Structure 1
C-alpha cells in the first residue's frame, strides 16, 4: 500500500539512476528521456558542473534565511536581468509561487484587480494560479474560483480589444501554451498585446516557466517576438532539477515589493542559487543557444521527414526544443508503447505528444528518438485503419 496521495498516475518505470539524456530503471532497462523532468533538466540529468557547484555550497551552509545578504542570490539575479533586459528579481521555490508573486506584484503596483488570461493556458495549481489557468479540468471539485480572472481566446485580438480596459491590472500569458497543447503565439498577436497594454496602463506578465532558460533557443521565449514584458516568471529549467522559481521585473516596479510586502522562507536558498547560477552561466552563452537552435532545426526537419506523412499525424509545431506532435486520436496508449520501446515522452492534453529533450542532447539521440516515434506511430496507424 502506498502512503502517498494518488495525485499522479505513476508510470511503470522506477528510476535507479540518471545521467545526461538517459534514465536507468530498476528493471535493468535504459530509457532515452525526452521529457527532461517536464522541461526541468535542461542540461540533462546530474550535470557535472551544476553538481560540483551544489556540492561546494553544501560544504559551506545550506540555509540561513533571507534576513542575510547572500552573494549567490545577487549573482543569479544579475544573470537573469542581463539576459532578459529587465531589472529586479524575487526568488521563490516553484513556478506556481513565481506566478503568485507576479499576480500580487501586478495588483499592488496598479491598484487594480482584474487580470486577463487565456483559454487553454496553464499557470499553476495554487488557488490563485489555478484561477488564472484557462482549463476547467484542473478546477473541478474546488468550488468557485477567484473572480478577478477573465479568460480570452488565445491568438485572438478581437476579444482582447473588447476586454482590455482601465480596470485591468495585467494581461498574463504563455508565449507557447505548453500544457494546453504546445501552441505558439502569433507574432502579430503578441506585439499587439504589448501595444494594447501600454495604451491602457496594463502590465504584461509573460509566464516563462516552461519556455524560459534556453528552451526555445533564446534565453526567454518572449525574445522571439521583439516585445518587452513588465514581469516574467521562471522556474523549471532555472536550476536543472533543484527546486527554485523567480519573477524578473521592470525596475519601475522595484519599490512595490518593499520590506514586508512579500516573502518566502526557502526562496533563494543557497543550494538552489548555486545550481541556478551555474546553470545560467552555461545556458546563456551565445554558442550554447546557437547549438540549441541548430538542434531544433535538425529535429523539426527529421520529424517532418519521418512523421508528417503518417495518416494519424495532424501537425508538428513548437519553437526550439519544445515540440508538439498533434494526432487525430488520444496519445495515452502510444506513450506507453514508446516507453516499452525505451523512449520517454509527455502528452500535452489528450492528443498531443510533447517533446522536451535536454538542450544538450546529441544528434544521435535525436535520431534515435525520431526512429522510435516513427516505428510506434506507423504501428498504431496500421491498427487504426
Structure 2
C-alpha cells in the first residue's frame, strides 16, 4: 500500500506528501456513486479498483448495488474489476472474502494482512482470463514466493478453513456490533456511529473528540487501536478473540468515553 502506484490509486494526500509526483493515470470517484464512475470511463480506462469495506477511509462499506453496477460497467466496457481485499480478506468480515457478502465477483483481488497471521506476506488472485498476461519472467519481486512466508500462510489457511471457524467470527462480530451500538446510545456526545461487520469494525467519534485523542486515551487504558478516516477508531479484534476479550474491550471504550464526558463537564 505504500508503493508509488498504490499511493496514487488511493489518492491519500497524507501518504503522498513528500513522495511526489504521483503516478499518472488514476481517477478518483466518490464511494457508492455509480454515475460519477460511469462518467469517468474513457478509452484509456483499464479497470476499476474498490475496497468492499474501506479500512483507511473510515470503515465505510460499499453497497451491494454499487458493486453490481461496477461489475456491469466493467462487463460493458471490457474493464477489469479489482478488489482490494487486504483488510477484508481471510475471514475478517465473517466470510472468507469481503466480496462474498454481495456475491459480486472481481477479476483480480489483492490479499495480505490476515494471510500470514502477523507474518509479512501478500499476494493477488485473478481469474484465468485476467491472469493471461502473467507469464514466467514478466513480473516478480525479490522476496516473492518466500518459502517460510508461504508455509505460514498455508498454516493460517489450515486454521481458517476448519469447520465453523469463520462462522464463529461472524457470530462474534454480530455481538461486537451490538455492543458498539450500545456505546453510541450511552455516550452520544463521544461516539456517534458504529461501522463495519465481523471483526472489521469501527466507531466514529464526535467532532469534539478527535480520533487521535481517543486512540491515545485507549492506549493509556491498555487497548491498542489505530485511527481511520472520518474520525473513526478501528476495532479489529483477533479472529480468535472470545466474548470475555470483547467485553473487556467494550468496557475500556466505555471508560474512555466517561473520561471525555467528565473533562467536558469540568470545563
Structure-1-length-normalised TM-score: 0.66
Distance apart, 1:375 and its partner CA: 1.2
Distance apart, 1:164 and its partner CA: 2.1
Could you give the per-residue CA deviations for residues 345-373 of structure 1, whole angstroms, max 9, x where no partner exists? 11113621101110110100000100110
Q: 2:141 aligns with which of 247, 257, 264?
A: 264
Specify the alignment match of 1:372 in structure 2.
Answer: 252
Q: 2 CA distance for matches of 1:143 and 1:230?
A: 30
Specify the alignment match of 1:352 in structure 2.
Answer: 232
Specify the alignment match of 2:242 in structure 1.
Answer: 362
Specify the alignment match of 2:48 in structure 1.
Answer: 171
Q: Is the 8 A contact 1:166 1:200 kept in 2?
A: no
Q: Return the structure number with greater relative CO, CA threshold 8 A, min gap 6.
A: 1
Segments of structure 1 that go 5 or more residues without pairing to the other structure are 1-123
CA-based RMSD of the aligned residues comes to: 1.4
Specify the alignment match of 2:222 in structure 1.
Answer: 342
Distance apart, 1:285 and its partner CA: 3.2
The aligned runs of 1:315-330 (5 Å cut-off) are: 315-328=193-206, 329-330=209-210
The aligned runs of 1:142-157 (5 Å cut-off) are: 142-157=19-34
Segments of structure 2 that go 5 or more residues without pairing to the other structure are none
2:83 counterpart SS class = strand
Q: 1:273 aligns with which of 138, 150, 158?
A: 150
The aligned runs of 1:112-123 (5 Å cut-off) are: none
Q: 1:220 aligns with which of 83, 93, 97?
A: 97
The aligned runs of 1:189-338 (5 Å cut-off) are: 189-310=66-187, 311-328=189-206, 329-338=209-218
Q: Is the 8 A contact 1:213 1:237 kept in 2?
A: yes
The aligned runs of 1:22-41 (5 Å cut-off) are: none
Distance apart, 1:307 and its partner CA: 3.3
Structure-2-length-normalised TM-score: 0.94
Distance apart, 1:186 and its partner CA: 1.0
Distance apart, 1:144 and its partner CA: 2.1
- Size of the alignment, in residue pairs? 262
Q: Is the 8 A contact 1:235 1:246 kept in 2?
A: yes
Q: 2 CA distance for matches of 1:182 and 1:282?
A: 26
2:237 counterpart SS class = coil
